[in-house]
Structure 1
Amino acid sequence: MPMPTEERVSRLVAGLVAGRGFDLEGVEVSTAAGQTRVRVIVDSDDAADLDSIAELSSEVSARLDEADDEFGAYRYLLEVTTPGIDRPLTADRHWRRARGRKVAVRLRPGVKPPEPGLPTAFDARVGALDGDRIALVVGGKRAPHLVTVALGDIERAVVEVEFSPPGARELELAGGVATGRPPAGADAAELTAHTVAASDSTEGTME
């Protein structure tokens, strides 16, 4: 009995996800202790509420259940959830949605930092995206100021977990937090919301 592949699940659910106004950020298929888990990760410009996630989960589950010609009778546990807080920023939409958030940035080898004295790996707060360049607030609460970096010069950028609010000037320079996103420094609440969404799973059979 074949195991459903991440690529095939992505093709099956992409239309449903887009129809609900979400972006499909990834699909993970894993098996542990005899249990197959299908995890569908979605996001949108507006913060996803649990009701929307639950409705999408029901539609995705029904679509996978119809896929008997490809997968046969295969029991699985479905999770439809939003990305974790510390996910890497790899697309323009990720940067837009992360505005106001603190990120750990690592530049590509050979790329010069945007200002003298700044290392090639540094913390910053995400500002506005302008074409292929991102504004970043560096200097922390004591000396916040803006620099800009070409997205192509960034090897890796990951949103960092924060439990205390940023400085007012930091947030002002960043242009505030992206619309529909929780305030910076409120990650305890966001972690709880994400866990609730992830636990809203559906057990089904692809048959």
Structure 2
Amino acid sequence: MPMPTDERVSQLIAGLVERRGFDLEGVDLSTVGKHADAQARVTVVVDSDAASDLDTIATLSRDLSELLDEAGDFGDTPYLLEVTSPGIDRPLTADRHWRRARGRKVRITLRPGAEPPDPGGHARFDARVGALDGDSVALVLGGRHKPHRVTVPLADIAEAVVQVEFNPPGARELELAGGVAPGRPTPGQDAEDISGSTDAVPVTASDSPTEGIVE
């Protein structure tokens, strides 16, 4: 039996994810192993404004596995369900991403023709995310030594990717950004949380989806 598509799984689980207070950030299906030992891997990426602990993620994993088992789209194919939060170095593509990234360092790439926020600056630069205000976002430039705040229209930003940080920002730099978004880790602690909170629940389609090993 062929595996369902990413879009099909997204449609199946989107309502449940939303009811549990999460945003569905992505679904990815792949195959692990070969031939008779092959199984499907279903990776579900979720996020929320509130901090999510491992117990919350584990509960969501069990609920999703029950839903997928009831839908029957995998037939007798065994599958591994992995529910995870976005990685540290995530791209910012929606307003909620900017809100949750407040206080984080990002690498900004401006669209062609957009003016850099600092005179004589480059179209690609690092900044710390400040408050989102409608169609614009505050950015703190200058790092620890010369921090200053500018405002950039979101329409001028072609790409923004959160950067991994191993050292804390300067106090003034973080103050200008408005602090860290509630429930988010303090910048500079990425060595302890390099891949986000992950909870993997192995599930075999013919077994009870609420049983399994939570790693």
Normalising by structure 1, report the TM-score: 0.94
Percent identity (aligned): 65
Whether the 8 Å CA contact 1:61–1:204 is kept in 2: the answer is: no
Q: How far 1:206 moved relative to its partner?
A: 7.3
Q: 1:64-90: CA deviations, max 9, x gaps? A: 00112x442221110001000001000
Q: How far 1:46 moved relative to its partner?
A: 1.1
Aligned counterpart, 2:210: none
Whether the 8 Å CA contact 1:100–1:177 is kept in 2: the answer is: yes
Aligned counterpart, 1:100: 103
* CA 75–123 in structure 1, closer or farther in 2 if over 3 Å, else same: same
Q: How far 1:199 moved relative to its partner?
A: 4.6
Q: 1:117-158: CA deviations, max 9, x gaps? A: 221000000000000100000011111001111111111100
User: May I ask how many residue pairs the two structures share in their alignment?
Assistant: 203
Aligned residue among 143, 148, 164 for 2:146: 143
Q: How far 1:187 moved relative to its partner?
A: 0.9
Aligned residue among 181, 185, 189 for 1:186: 189
Over the residues paired in the alignment, what is the CA RMSD in angstroms? Answer: 1.5
Distance 1:161 1:103 in 2: 9
Aligned counterpart, 1:37: 41
* CA 15–112 in structure 1, closer or farther in 2 if over 3 Å, else same: same
Structure 1 segments, 4+ long, off by >4 Å, are none
Whether the 8 Å CA contact 2:44–2:83 is kept in 1: the answer is: yes
Normalising by structure 2, report the TM-score: 0.90
DSSP-derived class of the 1:185 partner: coil
Aligned counterpart, 1:3: 3
Aligned counterpart, 2:213: none
DSSP-derived class of the 2:194 partner: helix
Whether the 8 Å CA contact 1:64–1:206 is kept in 2: the answer is: no
Gapped runs of 5+ residues in structure 1?
Answer: none
Q: How far 1:190 moved relative to its partner?
A: 2.1
Distance 2:166 2:125 in 1: 19
DSSP-derived class of the 2:43 partner: strand
Distance 1:201 1:145 in 2: 45
Q: Within 5 Å, give how 1:55-204 maps onto structure 2.
A: 55-68=59-72, 70-191=73-194, 194=196, 197-204=197-204
